[in-house]
Each structure stands twice: as structure tokens, then as C-alpha cells.
Structure 1
Amino acid sequence: MMYIINAFHCRAGGGKQIALSLINYIIENGQMKQFMVILNEPLKKELGDLSKYQDNFFTIEDDLSYLGKLKKFKMIENKIKPPAVLSIFGPTFWKPKAFHIVGFAKPQIVYEKEYLSSNALSSFAKIKFRLKYTLQKWLFMANSDCYIVESDDVNLRLRQQFGLKESEVITVSNTFNQLFNGYENRISEYPNYPTVPFRLLAIGTNYPHKNFSIIRKILPLIIEQNINVKFYVTFSEQEYKDSFSGFEEFVINLGVLSVKECIEAYKNCDALFLPTLLECFSASWPESMMMGLPILTSDRSFSKSICGEAGIYFDPLSPIDVVDKIQLLVKDRELYNRKIEEGKLQLKKIPSAVDRAERYLKILKKQEHKS
């Protein structure tokens, strides 16, 4: 008996990292014979040499038509006849005959009202947003039997919006990359402020919902109040020029970083700055806890459900409140150190990558006893 793991939709960011982590766990623990993994071509390349397991991986070409891809999915299911299928992240355009467990990480669906009320989008963009995510919501509901989400807050909201039972939505928290292991005992010293700038790490891709544009809006207040801080962003070169031309003294671009480079960025900064408007989970939160950095982030239910007492929260749409909270942290040594300790405690509630993989497989294999 074999299960199908569908990683075809995992192409970037957290989705790709979870797929790689789960597949590598299965290989390293000698369980590959139990699974057929469906991949896209880029993900297959990242996994390296799979010749030893060539009968356990099936790659679907990206240039196939919708019907061509659907035919391949159906063909592999008819061949394997699995008791259950796990699609690491959805939505999917394929509804298996077997019980279908689908990962959900679309904050645009469960936090739609809050995001659209933030005025982050134009009227036309809001129409496009609603059309896109109404379709995605339909695909989730039409093609899924059970959902895996990354936080209890998303769990509650998804059940409310989709009209689901508690048993149909399971929380499996995301976590930090395994490469961060070993840094949990790092000692973080309070920065030598104000003789040197307080370094705020704004790590992440420059998506509109990340709200990094607030940095440009708060810089005049920071300059006016003589707060000695610098922001470190991870933008492409063109995005950096478009966003911060004329403010290079206050905003330094680290460029797009690998995981190992991210670790160095955390080591060389004093706090995380994440003003996001939408999130199911951000690995930046537990990574900061692991690296001993206090967290400045949005006063939203999704961030509080992950960060708890470790966060210092601000209204991400209020430049005045953002600056007030930055100033509060940089001037209060006791608060700075306390938030680091709170982060260590909060981190204990977040599973390791191994714990997460084991939980995923337990949920998948549980369906064997129901079939």
C-alpha cells in the first residue's frame, strides 16, 4: 500500500521549504517505499539525485495544459490506488477518489475583510483580489476532504468561513528551517545604543501585503525624533531603488538571501521588524526567537497567535504607533532582554521540522484505518 504526496504546487517560499523538509525526512528515515511523491520540475532539481527512488517520484511537466496535468494526476492515482492523498499546499484543480488532505496557507481568504479595509489596494485591485480568491476558495471546498493549517487562529477562521467541523481542520504549526538548529543558545547583548544605530531586520519578499512600504512613511518621523535606527531589507536591486531612493543612509539592502545568509543577517541585527497585513504563518517569527531577537510586528490575531508574549505589537497602518513602539524597544534595555526571554519560552510551543514531518505523516496514515 502506498500513499500519494502531492508537492506539485510547492514552488517557492514556505511551501517549497515544507515540501523539501518532509520529503527529505521520509528519505532519511527509510520510509520512501510507502509513498509516491508528485513533483514539479524545479522541486525535483532541488532534491538532487533521486535515482535510488525513481519508482517513488513522478514529475509533471510545467508546460502541460490543464487537461494534460489533470490526466497525469488521475493516471498516477489509478495506478497506485492510495488510501489517502496529501497535497502539501492547495488549492488543487484535482479531486482524487481517495481521501484528500490539503494544506491551507491562503491568508487572503481567511483575513479578507481586514486586508481589504486596510486600503492597501486600489478599487480595481480589490475587484481582482475578490475574484481571484473567491475562485481559490471554491477550489479548496470542491477538492478537499480535510485541511491542515499552520495556526489555531487560521483553524478557527477557516472553519467559520467554510462551515467545517473541528475534525475537518487540523493545526500543524510551521517552524524554522533546520539550518537554524544550534543557534538557540546564542547570547544576544543589548546593542550599544544610541552610540551605534539600532539595527532592524525587515526580512522577506516585497509583496504588497508584507507592508514594507510603511518604512518609507515612518522615516521622516524617525529622522525628526532623532531615533538612531537603520533598517535592513532583503529586496531585489530594482525594488530597493524604487522604494528607498534618497534614503539609502537609513535603509540598507542585503539583497535576496539564502537560508545560510538569513542566519548571518539575524546574527548581525538587533530586532525583527515585520509590519505584515496578511499571514498564516511567517518563519521569521520563530527564527527571530531562535536567534535571540525581539520581535516588532503587527497587532493582528495571526501574529499574536504565533508570537504570544514575545511580540511588541503596533498598528501596521499607523506610522505614529509604529515609531512609538520602535522607540519603546530601542530605549528600554529591560524590555529588550525580557522579550528575548519570552521568545525562548514561546519557541518551546513551536514544533521542530522533524515533529512537523511526523505529524503530517501520522495524519495521512490515519486514513488507512478509515478506508
Structure 2
Amino acid sequence: MKILINSISAKKESGGAFQIAINFILKSLEHNDVEWYYIVSQDVDEVIGEKFNSLKGKHYFVYITQPDFLGSYMKVKKEVAVLEKQIKPDLIYSVTAPSYFTFKTKEVMRYTNPWVTHPNKYSWSTYSFTSKIRQYLYCLNQKKMMKAAYAFITQTETTKNGIIRVTGVSSDRVCVVNNVLPEAFKTMDTSPIYDNEWINIACIGSPHLHKNFDILPKLIIELEKNGVRNVCFHTTIPLDSPMIKKVVIPLEKVGMSKHINNHGRVSQKELNEIYRRCQFCFIPTLLEVFSASTIEAMYYSLPIVATDFDFNKDVLQDSCLYYEPQNAADAAKKFVTLIANKKIQEECKLKMQKQLQKYGNYDIHFKAIKKYLINVAKGNI
């Protein structure tokens, strides 16, 4: 059986989705019962290309990261169409989707855009009027492209229900496979690196507006008011991101830049080092499907303060402290409680390890996806 993995739209700046594509592609090398083919973006190739040197031009094909509407898009579209005709795959799995390409072969999309499936008033509030219009039109276009797929893979029941509502596909054509801890972390040294001077808090993710990282300056000021003056938040905001102006620069202006350590875009190995230095985790997101940061924090036993949303509770349940979204004062109170109370910290850690058992095995995760892909390819679904 031939399955073509499509990651042509996987971009470095897309954060979790980029890592998910890389992890899935690498894991496929261990499963020779399927004849895998790959069309990957240059961004993906820069990270894992050397592991596919023997397959390049045969099973592994690299293209300029798409969509690149002002440059290579039409050329790449034609080349991919020719390649599809030559390979004649039984199925195409678009691990980052929609990829802005359509195929004659039956396609399964991995779809995890909460803006299309379950947005809320908090996430919409982060946009200006003009941006809301732009985002609304973007979502309309996404919905249109989704209808080209035969089936979908997603991470939660909430998202599954949204996909069914948008596309009208039957329930069996949307497979839920929970997010899982990336395999790479299990091969790394995760022992804590202690710091007696600072309370280090991980706040990890791509700097999209709905991630709400711009709450950090207000939170730091609120913590100061509550007598907590030695916190340092560790972020991964790319240096060219507009979010720098909302997070880092405001603290520099008031002489509080020491409370932020922004590492920029990092590899999984570098991310491991950040988590090892932290004692807690902050998840201020206003909209999510299933954040990788949540699982990673549990894996490193970092007690969490997170926004009070169902998508967080589905994963964390009662293993963390929740605060009112966009309320920095409430988030500060939760951190004051957590930092001061060792008993609560230990209770959270025990509960997190119980939750992590559901999300800790990447091999089971991969096999569940592969099984579904094979069933779709065989016409069983």
C-alpha cells in the first residue's frame, strides 16, 4: 500500500503543527508495512532532510514551503500533480492541512484549526475590527478547502463535532487521536536544573494573538503587588514577531525586563533545557484544540496555572489551577497560592502524572493514525 504524506505547508513558525509533522514523518521510517512517500516543505527538510538522503528523488520530494502565492505556488502545484500521477498513491495524508493543494487521490486531512471549529468571544476579542473581517474570510476559505477532503484526523471530540458541522461528513470519517508527548523528549535528560534565585515559569508556544502572551507584563506587575518579585517567565517568541512589542518591550520600558527570558524560536533539544530550568508553567491561551505545551509541562512535572476553558479541562482535569481568561489579577492570585503551598504543588504533580498516562505513548498514537489511514485507503470507511 502506498501512502503519500503531505507536509508541504508545514512552516517553522507554526510551532506545534510543525513539530507534529516532523515527528510523524520520522516515525514512519519504523513502519515498513506501508510504502511511504513524502512531499515536504523546505522548512521540514532543513530539520530532518539528512535522514532521508537515500530516499530523495525516489520517495522523498522537497518543495518551497507553501502557499507561496506571489512566487512558486503555480509551478509547485503543477509539479505535485505530475508527481501524484506518477506515484499513484492509495491515499494522501495531509499532516498539515489544508495545504492549499487539491488531489485526485482520496485525501485525509489532519485538521486542528479551532478558529473554524470552536472559536469563542475571548479569542475574537483579541482582534481589531479589520482583523476580525480578515479572520472571518480566512475561516470561510478554510471551510471551503476542507470540503475537498474525504476524511479527517483531529485531536478532540470538540473539534470533531466542529468538523462534522462545517463539512457535513459522517462521524466515521472523522477520527479522534489525542495529542501525545513527542518521542524526542523521552531520549533527553529531563532532570531539573535548580535555581535558588529565580522562580522560573515556562510560557511556551507560537505568538498568535489568541495565545494571549501579551498578558505577561500585567501579570508580572500583579505578582509584584502580591510580593512575588523574583519570577522569570521563559517564552519562545521569535525575535521578528510583533508580539515582542507587546511582551518584551513594555517590560524594558519600566525596567522589568529581567522578568522575561525570551529564547526566540527553539529546537526540541533547546526546549528541553528551558523546561528543566522551570518550576511552573503558565498557559494563558484563549483558544486551543490540544496544546503540546500542556503535555510537555505535565511530563516535566511543572504545576500549571491555565485559563478556565473546557479545552484545557479536557486534558488537565483537576491537575492544575484555573484562572478567569484575560484576568491578570486572578492569574497572579493563583500563582501566589501555588508558589506558597508545597502541598498543592505535590497534589498537582501527582494528578498530572495520572493524566499523562493517557498522552505519553507516541507509538500508540502513530499506530492509531496509521490504522485509520489504511482503513480509509482500503475503502472500509
Q: Tell me the TM-score normalized by structure 1.
A: 0.89
What SS does the aligned partner of 1:144 have? coil
What SS does the aligned partner of 1:213 have? helix
| 1:102-148 deviation per Cα after TM superposition (whole angstroms, max 9, x unaligned) | 0112122123233455x21111111111111211121112x111111
2:339 maps to which of 315, 330, 353:
330
What SS does the aligned partner of 1:181 have? helix
Given that 1:214 and 1:317 are in contact with CA atoms closer than 8 Å, whether structure 2 keeps it comes out as: yes
Q: Counterparts of 1:118-137 in structure 2 under 5 Å?
A: 119-137=125-143
Q: Work out the CA distance in 2 between the residues paired with 1:209 and 1:254.
A: 20
Q: Counterparts of 1:258-297 in structure 2 under 5 Å?
A: 258-297=267-306
Letter in structure 2 aligned against 1:262: L
For structure 1, which segment, 232-241 or 334-343, has the greater mean C-alpha deviation from structure 2 after superposition?
A: 232-241
> 1:155 aligned to 2:184?
no
| 1:223-259 deviation per Cα after TM superposition (whole angstroms, max 9, x unaligned) | 2221244122233457264242122233333443321
Q: Tell me the TM-score normalized by structure 2.
A: 0.87
Letter in structure 2 aligned against 1:140: M
Are the structure 2 counterparts of residues 82 and 328 from structure 1 closer, same or farther at C-alpha, using a change threshold of 3 Å? Answer: same
Q: For residue 359 of structure 1, what is the aligned residue in structure 2? A: 368
Q: Work out the CA distance in 2 between the residues paired with 1:80 and 1:350.
A: 35
Given that 1:152 and 1:305 are in contact with CA atoms closer than 8 Å, whether structure 2 keeps it comes out as: no
How big is the shift at 1:198?
3.0
| 1:78-108 deviation per Cα after TM superposition (whole angstroms, max 9, x unaligned) | 2222222111121133332332100112122
> 1:207 aligned to 2:208?
yes
Are the structure 2 counterparts of residues 166 and 351 from structure 1 closer, same or farther at C-alpha, using a change threshold of 3 Å? Answer: farther
Given that 1:214 and 1:316 are in contact with CA atoms closer than 8 Å, whether structure 2 keeps it comes out as: no
What SS does the aligned partner of 1:280 have? coil
Letter in structure 1 aligned against 2:185: F
Q: Work out the CA distance in 2 between the residues paired with 1:229 and 1:160.
A: 47
Given that 2:201 and 2:278 are in contact with CA atoms closer than 8 Å, whether structure 1 keeps it comes out as: yes
> 1:218 aligned to 2:225?
no
Q: Work out the CA distance in 2 between the residues paired with 1:5 and 1:236.
A: 28
Letter in structure 2 aligned against 1:165: S
> 1:232 aligned to 2:226?
no
> 1:170 aligned to 2:175?
yes
What SS does the aligned partner of 2:234 have? strand
How big is the shift at 1:188?
10
Q: Work out the CA distance in 1 between the residues paired with 2:226 and 2:191.
A: 32
Q: Work out the CA distance in 2 between the residues paired with 1:85 and 1:256.
A: 30
Given that 1:151 and 1:306 are in contact with CA atoms closer than 8 Å, whether structure 2 keeps it comes out as: no
2:92 maps to which of 66, 69, 85:
85
Q: Work out the CA distance in 1 between the residues paired with 2:187 and 2:111.
A: 30
Q: Work out the CA distance in 2 between the residues paired with 1:255 and 1:298.
A: 23
How big is the shift at 1:289?
0.9
Seq. identity, %: 23
Q: CA RMSD in A?
A: 2.6
Q: For residue 113 of structure 1, what is the aligned residue in structure 2? A: 120
> 1:67 aligned to 2:74?
yes
Q: Work out the CA distance in 1 between the residues paired with 2:259 and 2:53.
A: 50
Q: For residue 368 of structure 1, what is the aligned residue in structure 2? A: 377
Structure 2 alignment gaps of length 5 or more: none
Q: Work out the CA distance in 1 between the residues paired with 2:46 and 2:189.
A: 31
1:57 maps to which of 56, 60, 63:
60
Q: For residue 299 of structure 1, what is the aligned residue in structure 2? A: 308
Are the structure 2 counterparts of residues 93 and 251 from structure 1 closer, same or farther at C-alpha, using a change threshold of 3 Å? Answer: closer
| 1:299-326 deviation per Cα after TM superposition (whole angstroms, max 9, x unaligned) | 1122122222222211121122212211
Given that 2:108 and 2:151 are in contact with CA atoms closer than 8 Å, whether structure 1 keeps it comes out as: yes
| 1:318-347 deviation per Cα after TM superposition (whole angstroms, max 9, x unaligned) | 122212211221122111101111110001
Given that 1:5 and 1:85 are in contact with CA atoms closer than 8 Å, whether structure 2 keeps it comes out as: yes
Q: Work out the CA distance in 1 between the residues paired with 2:157 and 2:189.
A: 25
Deviation beyond 6 Å, 4+ runs, structure 1: none
Are the structure 2 counterparts of residues 183 and 333 from structure 1 closer, same or farther at C-alpha, using a change threshold of 3 Å? Answer: farther
Letter in structure 2 aligned against 1:319: A
Q: Work out the CA distance in 2 between the residues paired with 1:249 and 1:211.
A: 20
1:101 maps to which of 83, 97, 108:
108
| 1:184-213 deviation per Cα after TM superposition (whole angstroms, max 9, x unaligned) | 995899x97xxx543222122322111111
> 1:344 aligned to 2:347?
no
How big is the shift at 1:165?
2.3
Q: For residue 45 of structure 2, what is the aligned residue in structure 1? A: 44
Q: For residue 24 of structure 2, what is the aligned residue in structure 1? A: 22
Given that 2:303 and 2:345 are in contact with CA atoms closer than 8 Å, whether structure 1 keeps it comes out as: yes
Given that 2:190 and 2:272 are in contact with CA atoms closer than 8 Å, whether structure 1 keeps it comes out as: no
Letter in structure 2 aligned against 1:303: N
How big is the shift at 1:272?
0.5
Q: Work out the CA distance in 1 between the residues paired with 2:216 and 2:64.
A: 40
Given that 1:116 and 1:126 are in contact with CA atoms closer than 8 Å, whether structure 2 keeps it comes out as: no
Q: Work out the CA distance in 2 between the residues paired with 1:305 and 1:68.
A: 43
